[in-house]
Structure 1
Amino acid sequence: MPEMRHIYCGEVTLRVALEGTGPLVIMVHGFPESWYSWRHQIAPIAAAGYQVAAIDVRGYGGSDKPEPVEAYTMEKIVGDLVGLKAALSPGATAILIGHDWGAPIVWNSAFTHPDLFHAVAGLSVPFTGAPARPFTEIFREKFTAKNLFFYQEYFQEPGKAEAELEPQLRRALTLFLCSIGGEAPDGAWPVKSADALLLDGLKLPEKLPPWLTEADLDFYTAEFTASGLRGPLNRYRNHEADFAWLSPLQGRKLEQPALYIGGTRDPASTLFGQITDPVAMMRHFAPNVEGHMLKGCGHWTQQERPDDVTRLLLDWLARLNANPTLPSSRT
């Protein structure tokens, strides 16, 4: 187990899993996850000569959980990473790695603070530059206006998803995790009307996938039983605020060396069908990106394919250390 510390980051205190010494690598999880989602990567990357800091994002686990929706804007969570870097590596820049919501968090941290974060890796969700529209407009046009359910629309009303999910956390987590993993059958995430509940139509698997154990579910269930879901879901309720913060940066590129790892069975890798080639798309916004698509991998990238992801990260970090200006054409 890594050392667990609580570190004040300027506005909130984050629980951080720390291991190793050397250049700082900050790992950021997504929903519904925790620092534990990086359990397979922490020790190998620390052993390669890095100080690994895998956080609980604000609202999760052992980190502070402010109540207001507006406490979970991208700007504030990026600020948490800025504060954590200042606390752990005041004299040097850091490397960022994120998955799911953690990917936009690290992309935008590097994008807005290139002086603090000299390289960045994102899993599952590609970088799309400064937004031209709030994401709420996009998913309402593509889904809600057509009377189709979209989970992020469902999450918009404070208390609604919490009321469905919190009384049945273990079942909800199992359904959510298993329905968009790489081994889930086609149709496991069903098409349904906009007024459906999140868990409607989802089916428990006969057995858990190989990457998810009962002990893993015990951990996640205990974490969310203690923390509740309001903080995690508040992240989804800030698309307009995020747009207002980032849209003035349209035209700017993310110039640092970047790594993208996606899965061919991950709907987030194609932004829910909006793009066909996430790596090619990213090169318009992050010219120094290299990309890897893991065949058959679903949404939970570093948990489903721990060996592949760890190998790709270690290889990238080694080349980054040898040559900070990685080539942009590697795929």
Structure 2
Amino acid sequence: MEGIEHRTLSVNGITMHVAEKGRGPAVLLLHGFPELWYTWRRQIHALAAQGYRAVAPDLRGYGDTEAPAEVERYTCHHAVGDVVALMDELGLGEAAHVVGHDWGALVGWYLCMFRPERVRSYVCLTVPFRPRNPAAKPVESLRARFGDDYYICRFQEPGDIESDIERLGVRNVVRKILTERKPGPPMWPKGQDFSCRPGKPMALPSWLSEEDLDYYTSKFEKRGFTGGLNYYRALDLNWELTAPWTDARVRVPVKFIVGDLDMTYTTPGVKEFVHGSGFKKHVPLLEDVVVIEGAGHFINQERPEEINSHIHNFIKKF
């Protein structure tokens, strides 16, 4: 996109692609699955115009960033290591504002927990902080609660979902995931093709163009999905690695934003946690929880003006 600078850097033992624009205090934008730096295109321009340096990497395993094959190289420690090394390599200063969405939100939470001195403020989209449960591994807990068809459970077997995606076609799958608005726990039933049929494209919403879909498709056809899926496959390993942080608190200023139709927010138990005492207990500097009516999961793309305003109004205080 016009005016956005692209570069490739060597960080934390991998080659990482970064998009950036603007000068001023740094704002680090962390994307989720199945996305790229491109998900932040409208935030990059807005933040640069407001006097910030907006930096959006393709995370490890995505787009034009290197994608190691091993699941063990997608842990929370690797992800935070990438972010810290990137900040140092780009000279972003001792601390930056951070904005995270979906898996990028989880990486942001880990960054806040492991290296709070590197975070000036954190705007989290869609995925709240959840404390580690020392009594149960994440995947077995999710399988017991939601069954084998729950998307995270289906993602665990290497090659399984990848073969589904190959059969259905990258463009069809990316289109389906980005435009899905069904509330509740996301399911990917085996043998039911994820409710996605080749040759029957769904109408795109106003915020996602065919050109946008072209960009996502071209990058995922080149890179594949295994890198992004490996974050889910490392969930239990993260649980083991974070034992020293059991019952840890996140002690940076936080604003949480979610759509009321978001698949995560409408999963049983999440609303009660977000609006009850649990979220604030573990994130004591949580300043605001914003629920945007009529918005789905990919909220920064779907409602860019509102999200841009929320981000700016929060980070300018710090």
Distance 1:206 1:155, change over 3 A: closer
Q: Distance between the aligned counterparts of 1:205 and 1:283, measured in 2? A: 42
Q: Tell me whether 1:232 sits opposite 2:192 in the alignment.
A: no
Q: Tell me whether 1:102 sits opposite 2:104 in the alignment.
A: yes
Corresponding residue for residue 306 of structure 2: 308
Give the 5 Å matches for 1:144-183. 144=147, 149-167=149-167, 168-180=169-181
Distance 1:252 1:220, change over 3 A: same
Q: Distance between the aligned counterparts of 2:188 and 2:219, measured in 1? A: 30
Note the C-alpha offset of 1:309.
0.5
Decide whether the 8 Å contact of 1:60 with 1:227 is kept in 2.
yes
Corresponding residue for residue 139 of structure 1: 142
Corresponding residue for residue 30 of structure 1: 32
Decide whether the 8 Å contact of 2:37 with 2:58 is kept in 1.
yes
Note the C-alpha offset of 1:89.
2.8
Note the C-alpha offset of 1:319.
2.0
Corresponding residue for residue 270 of structure 2: 275
Q: Distance between the aligned counterparts of 1:305 and 1:198, measured in 2? A: 31
Kindly provide the amino acid, as one letter, of the partner of residue 150 in structure 2: F
Note the C-alpha offset of 1:191.
6.3
Decide whether the 8 Å contact of 1:175 with 1:199 is kept in 2.
no
Note the C-alpha offset of 1:56.
0.3
Q: Distance between the aligned counterparts of 1:44 and 1:261, measured in 2? A: 18
Q: Distance between the aligned counterparts of 2:31 and 2:187, measured in 1? A: 27
Corresponding residue for residue 214 of structure 1: 210
Q: Distance between the aligned counterparts of 2:129 and 2:285, measured in 1? A: 12
Note the C-alpha offset of 1:190.
8.0
Decide whether the 8 Å contact of 1:178 with 1:205 is kept in 2.
no
Compare 75-84 and 248-257 and name the one that shifted more.
Answer: 248-257
Give the 5 Å matches for 1:255-266. 255-266=251-262
Distance 1:198 1:264, change over 3 A: farther
Kindly provide the amino acid, as one letter, of the partner of residue 161 in structure 1: I
Give the 5 Å matches for 1:237-256. 237-256=233-252
Distance 1:227 1:137, change over 3 A: same
Distance 1:128 1:214, change over 3 A: same
Decide whether the 8 Å contact of 2:87 with 2:93 is kept in 1.
no
Distance 1:163 1:260, change over 3 A: same
Compare 111-120 and 211-220 and name the one that shifted more.
Answer: 111-120
1:61 counterpart SS class? coil
Q: Distance between the aligned counterparts of 2:214 and 2:317, measured in 1? A: 37
Decide whether the 8 Å contact of 1:166 with 1:229 is kept in 2.
no
2:301 counterpart SS class? helix
Kindly provide the CA deviation profile for residues 98-132 of structure 1, in whole angstroms up to 9, marking residues without a partner as x. Answer: 10000000111111101222221110111113443
Q: Distance between the aligned counterparts of 2:317 and 2:56, measured in 1? A: 22
1:256 counterpart SS class? coil
Distance 1:223 1:198, change over 3 A: farther
Question: Which of the numbers 59, 62, 66 marks the counterpart of 2:61?
Answer: 59
Kindly provide the amino acid, as one letter, of the partner of residue 179 in structure 1: E
Note the C-alpha offset of 1:239.
1.1
Q: Distance between the aligned counterparts of 1:32 and 1:91, measured in 2? A: 29
Corresponding residue for residue 120 of structure 1: 122
Note the C-alpha offset of 1:192.
7.4
Question: Which of the numbers 278, 282, 285 marks the counterpart of 1:285?
Answer: 282
Note the C-alpha offset of 1:52.
1.1
Kindly provide the amino acid, as one letter, of the partner of residue 137 in structure 1: E
Distance 1:22 1:229, change over 3 A: same
Report the TM-score when normalising by structure 1.
Answer: 0.88
Decide whether the 8 Å contact of 2:10 with 2:16 is kept in 1.
yes
Alignment gaps of 5+ in structure 1: 321-331
Q: How many residues align structurally? A: 309
Kindly provide the amino acid, as one letter, of the partner of residue 317 in structure 1: I
Q: Distance between the aligned counterparts of 1:90 and 1:215, measured in 2? A: 32
Report the TM-score when normalising by structure 2.
Answer: 0.91
Decide whether the 8 Å contact of 1:179 with 1:202 is kept in 2.
no
Kindly provide the amino acid, as one letter, of the partner of residue 86 in structure 2: L
Q: Distance between the aligned counterparts of 1:192 and 1:107, measured in 2? A: 26
Q: Distance between the aligned counterparts of 1:97 and 1:58, measured in 2? A: 17
Note the C-alpha offset of 1:36.
0.3
* Runs of 4+ more than 6 Å apart: 189-192
Distance 1:21 1:63, change over 3 A: same
Q: Distance between the aligned counterparts of 1:122 and 1:263, measured in 2? A: 12
Kindly provide the CA deviation profile for residues 284-308 of structure 1, in whole angstroms up to 9, marking residues without a partner as x. Answer: 2111112101111111010111111
